[in-house]
Chains A and B, each alone.
Chain A
């Protein structure tokens, strides 16, 4: 898994360097700045067991240094676990909006946004040795509130730039460290 992430990072950085040959566009701090980031990453708490999240963030500045965002994240996981002796699939979908602030210049921008929204969670676990169980499958569907903090770094002067995000899920409040926090990298596009 680490090999694929490293490869992805190299591809994204190289493609970003190539794209810096494009025309200079509007700065990150400008009031007219709008962007869409698309990132892929890994969970932080238990990376081997976490779904791989695909994240989309639309950002629009309100005024210099302040912006609102629309945050979407889908995490999928399909696995046969030899230790649990179970097949499982999970879908973790977060949809939220938020406001926040950012600091930076025309090349680098670091933003922090508070996210509020909802989370839909679906899972299906099936025992492989199903003869042992009177009900060999457990299906869970949950709709939950979502609260989080998004740290978003954008690097690059051109229309397409390198993007990296750290998302900390703050709900449930109890034992926050166990929530599905994740780090992801990808590319962004300036409109």
Chain B
């Protein structure tokens, strides 16, 4: 255990403090303030245009921005591709409101406003402050649980914003599987899109497996131009599958982008 701890500490030390920029951003659309962490690649060169990975719940240990940035660094080296700028967004206070598509006892139905926050406030800020490729093709969004629900919302309703998706344990059961119902309504508008989509979950979170495998089935059946992958982390439940899933998802992303 101590060896594992030391190994993890060494990995964290590899990240230089100047790689991480932190600021707070107020959103007019949601009315909330969000802590934002921007992790630049190790050899960040302002003359190059970087792709971006937007990470939801970035304050959460399972998806912490520095752990995710460590994986993007490793995967970019393995696949000999340019690393991405990781943009971590805190969701500490308003998660249930921002990530859900409808107002129920379990959530506030703020997905539309939150997508406006991303589109009109956060993404423009990142693209003005850093050397970033500004096309949707260069953007990846990573979300787990309700965050995965929100990434599914973006795919279905706001597909012009992001080209690449890691949907981890998406809570697509939300509100009587509202997004699965709405997917059929929006399908005709989206069938020609050629996105990269990774759907992941834990084997022991069966309610999520049920909706995630349905989502994967629909991706395979109705979105022929999308490159997609479905992965179940063996013997893992909801939270404990998040990190192995994001590792697998980023491997898929760097391999196929």
- Chain A positions near chain B (C-beta within 8 angstroms): 81, 83-86, 88, 121, 123, 125, 127, 129, 132-138, 140, 142, 144, 172, 174-175, 178
Complex alpha-carbon distance, A135 and B221, angstroms: 14
- Distance in Å: Cβ of B201 to nearest Cβ of chain A: 11
Query: Is B203's CB under 8 angstroms from A142's CB?
Result: yes
- Distance in Å: Cβ of B212 to nearest Cβ of chain A: 10
A-B pairs with beta carbons under 8 A, tally? 60
Closest 10 CB pairs of A and B: A175-B240, A125-B206, A138-B210, A84-B207, A84-B173, A138-B206, A133-B214, A138-B209, A123-B206, A85-B176
Residues of B within 8 A of A123 (CB): 204, 206
- Chain B positions near chain A (C-beta within 8 angstroms): 106, 173, 176-177, 180-181, 203-204, 206-207, 209-210, 213-214, 217, 235-240
Residues of B within 8 A of A121 (CB): 204
- Distance in Å: Cβ of B233 to nearest Cβ of chain A: 10
Residues of B within 8 A of A137 (CB): 210
Query: Is A88's CB under 8 angstroms from B206's CB?
Result: yes
Residues of B within 8 A of A132 (CB): 177, 180-181, 214
| 12 sampled A-B residue pairs with Cβ under 8 A | A83-B106, A84-B173, A85-B173, A86-B173, A88-B206, A123-B204, A132-B177, A134-B217, A135-B214, A140-B203, A140-B204, A178-B239
- Residue from the list A86, A172, A178 in contact with B210, Cβ < 8 A: A86
Q: Which of B180, B214, B239 has the most CB of A within 10 A?
A: B214
